[in-house]
Structure 1
Amino acid sequence: MTKFKKGRYSGFIKPISCLFDLLVLNYMVYLFQINLIHPYPFHIYVSLFWLILSFHNKFYEVYRFTRIIQIISLLIKQIILFSIIIYAYIGFFKQPHLSRLNLGNYLIYVFFVLSFFKFLIYFLLNKYRSAFGGNFRNVVVIGENEKTRQLINTFNVRSDFGYKFKKQFDSKNDNFSLEDCFNYVIENDIHEIYFSIAELNNQQINHLIDFADNNLRELKFIPDNKEIFSKKIKYEYYDYIPILSLRNISLQEPINKFLKRLFDILLSSIIIFFVLSWLTPILAIIIKLESKGPVFFKQSRNGFNYEEFHCYKFRSMTPNKDAHLNQATKGDNRITKVGAFIRKTSIDELPQFFNVLFGDMSVVGPRPHMVSHTNMYAQRVDKFMVRHFVKPGITGLAQTSGYRGEIEQDKDIVNRVKYDIFYVENWSLLLDLKIIVQTFVNALKGEEKAY
């Protein structure tokens, strides 16, 4: 089999992809009657801003380990911002004769064509790596623990990632020597070295870094076996001082915050006007007929930045003094008959769309807990407070992943926090849509812990 050198052709992929996209953007203008009077300024404008947006959005930063959902998110974000900029051209250059309808058709076709070719390149490269062994990278792993075993299994199973696992060095072995590892790396043309940071001391790590730097090898560390939930580390310079941030929160970026808030307002308005407007009077009558008490139940919960707010629900229990202290349990005699139904179908949560409209909550986010429970979990569960970096949601990734309802064991809240932190660090509008669809499907099917 032919031996493929690392980086032999891969360095051309990004510029070729960018050049192809620019050709599509400029050529497809002539397929629609946009009524361009001066085409050359338009071509310069389109090309320049596409490059600026691509750089800002890291549109071409797609790697062998990039997930499909991340690519879709990149495409949607790129085309939305590009569309805004294109329509701004009409007013900025005073082009009243431009057809806004045909310009919209142009953008729709551009989106689908670019999406098709972006995925085509992605899948062809994956196929190229898995079927023909091309564009692969030889790797070694230093360390022997659960995380290194999982990583090695990923290298062996996911051939489409393009990594060839060559050897594992057990640093706990009495015969372990970094020099032997270095010799193996050089003699076997190893491209990347992965090491468990928990199994090497500072001197060994520094020695490993020096070797990688001096021999042009990529060095990547595997976090230790403690409960480290963070998946992203942000690297920045303050003047000339390198600073590492433990996590990068996407929703702190103004454009992402704006898009999420806009989505929340639109969806909550639709639900309030087209569902709650007629459903509320019907449920109010049924709830009142079965038991005395208010139609709505409000409860203090902790939200964004740990601030308290009143969370609204349709009342599903008989009024009781423990409602603000104890979660509902299976067979809970406080739950009314209509309450059991609206809890099973999650209809009781619908008034929280008012919370979303008011800005206390988001449609999707970590579920807010009662204040008493939040204080308790903050002391018991490591990283619990990270979930308050974003607004709480009516539904969330943890809930669609099987961790909704009553917390019966410590592992329930620990796993819920893991999913919440993943959401905080990996938010995208597409992920929100996926969670909403899954929530709707789960509501139709019914969930075991929806009581």
Structure 2
Amino acid sequence: MFTLRKRLRKRISKSINTVLIGKNNFTDFILSNPEISESMGIKGYYTIDESEDEHYYIGNLDLLFDDLISKKIDNIVLCDDGIDEKTCNEILLIANKKMIRTYLIPDFKHLSYNVNSLNMQHGIPIIKSMPEPLDNYENQLIKRTFDILFSSFVIIFILSWLTPIIALLIKLESRGPVFFTQERSGLKNQTFHCLKFRSMRLNREAHRKMATKNDERVTKIGSFLRKTSLDELPQFINVFIGNMSVVGPRPHMVEQTKKYSKILDQYMVRHFIKPGITGWAQVMGARGEIYTDEDMHNRIEKDIWYIQNWSLFLDFKIIFLTVVNVIKGDKQAY
């Protein structure tokens, strides 16, 4: 198992693109140790001033800002305490929007970025700007195993007999397909086709406009499906396939992602993990129609809290609260 894990980590590290910002004793030590730099996926470093090191030197901070936008960078490590606070804020702001994970060396002087997660990488203390339990491979394995087992149970023992009944009721009331598929934003902002039982009549605004209260597009059987959340059941197929999780931030329409990623600084952080059928925001009342940007901001805050505080027990709690809400009814479900 240890050998397999070592090989897996080596393979994963090759696909990771990590860059250092700054040149000091920490960067010299990391870059001089091939085992450490390879395991962290380090490709080189950027500095305030030009460097004569041709091997690992990538460029200055102007090039860094260009590369953050145009190139695939997975992680950045801030090592230089000579960078001014404004520049640090700009780097972290772009990193959040581009879903790039950021780390800080502990003696870094600008510690006003929610720095509360200390990691040790080969004996080197590194502060992560946001705690993220699901960045751990073991936790990812636990969550994925639970997703497969839970979704398999639902598909075999519920969807297998309920789908034909719902399909018949949908077909009897309106023409069109039984399932409604829509492109949604998923892990790392990769789009996927999210499955639902069709709850509306065929219309041209289905992929652009969210359902509203007393929406004329919603059918009678569709209204029942939406109020009971039965329309979401086919998403367990998405979970089994692997582009969703049972619990996580709800996947938004691509148009919503484009809009709110420009308005809310931390919006894209929610794509660090897979979207879910249910989530912390939903059980805390932040679901349904979005009236103002503040509504979306409150929802994103809860999504990020979930990412920072994930545990298997928390997933169980959210599933339990979801079932309770379905039984007693949710005013925001329409």
Deviation for aligned residue 1:410: 1.7
1:247 maps to which residue? 130
Give the counterpart of 1:313 among 193, 196, 208: 196
* Cα distance in structure 1, aligned partners of 2:121 and 2:134: 22
Q: Superposition pairs for residues 165-204 of structure 1, below 5 Å?
A: none
Q: How do 1:43-442 residues align onto structure 2 when only pairs under 5 Å count? A: 230=114, 233-236=116-119, 243-442=126-325
Provide the secondary structure at the position in 2 that maps to 1:313.
Answer: strand
Letter in 2 for 1:449: Q
Distance in 1 between residues matched to 2:160 and 2:119, nearest whole Å = 49
What corresponds to 1:445 in structure 2? 328
Per-residue CA deviation, residues 285-332 of structure 1 (Å, 9 max, x unaligned), is 100010000000000011011101000000000011100000000010
One-letter amino acid matched to 1:364:
V
**Counterparts of 1:359 and 1:239 in 2: how far apart (Å)?**
32
- Give aligned-pair identity as a percent: 55
Q: What is the CA–CA distance in structure 1 between the aligned matches of 2:122 and 2:166, rounded to whole Å?
A: 60
2: distance between equivalents of 1:372 and 1:408? 16
Give, in whole Å, the separation in 1 of the partners of 2:123 and 2:327: 55
| Cα separation, 2, equivalents of 1:287 and 1:238 | 55
CA gap of 1:251–1:289, structure 2 versus 1, over 3 A, is same
Unaligned runs of 5+ in 1: 1-201, 203-222
SS for the counterpart of 1:394 is strand
d(CA) in 2 for partners of 1:411, 1:288: 39
> Deviation at 1:246?
0.4
Secondary structure, in 3 states, of the residue corresponding to 1:403? coil
**Greater helix fraction, Structure 1 or Structure 2:** 1
Displacement of 1:237 in angstroms is 6.0
| CA deviation after TM superposition for structure 1 residue 243, in Å | 3.7
Give the drift of 1:382. Answer: 1.9
What's the counterpart of residue 65 of structure 2? none
Off by >3 Å, runs of 4+ in structure 1? 236-243
TM-score w.r.t. the length of structure 1 is: 0.48
Q: Give CA deviations for 1:192-236 in whole Å, capped at 9, x if unaligned.
A: xxxxxxxxxx9xxxxxxxxxxxxxxxxxxxx97xxx7x5x62234
Q: Distance in 1 between matches of 2:200 and 2:259?
A: 24
| More RCO (CA 8 Å, sep 6+) | 2
What's 1:101 paired with? none
User: Counterparts of 1:385 and 1:357 in 2: how far apart (Å)?
Assistant: 24
Higher radius of gyration, 1 or 2: 1
Q: Provide the rounded CA distance (Å) in 2 between the counterparts of 1:388 and 1:238.
A: 24
Structure 1 residue 405 displacement after superposition: 1.0
CA RMSD in angstroms, aligned pairs only: 1.8
Q: Which residue identity does 1:379 align to in structure 2?
A: K
What is the alpha-carbon distance in structure 2 between the residues aligned to residue 265 and residue 235 of structure 1?
A: 31
Partner Cα distance (2:313, 2:123) in 1: 37
Q: CA separation in 1, counterparts of 2:137 and 2:126?
A: 22
Which residues of 2 match residues 28-43 of structure 1 at below 5 A?
none
Using the size of structure 2 for normalisation, the TM-score is 0.65
- Report the Cα offset of residue 238 of structure 1: 6.5
What letter is aligned with 1:292? Answer: R
Give distance in 1, aligned partners of 2:274 and 2:229.
20
Query: Per-residue CA shift, 1:316-357, capped at 9, x if unaligned?
Result: 000111000000000100000000000000000000000000
CA apart distance, 1:409:
1.7
1-structure distance, mates of 2:268, 2:177: 32
Report the CA distance shift for 1:254/1:237 in structure 2 as closer, same or farther (over 3 A).
closer
Q: Distance in 1 between matches of 2:243 and 2:219?
A: 28
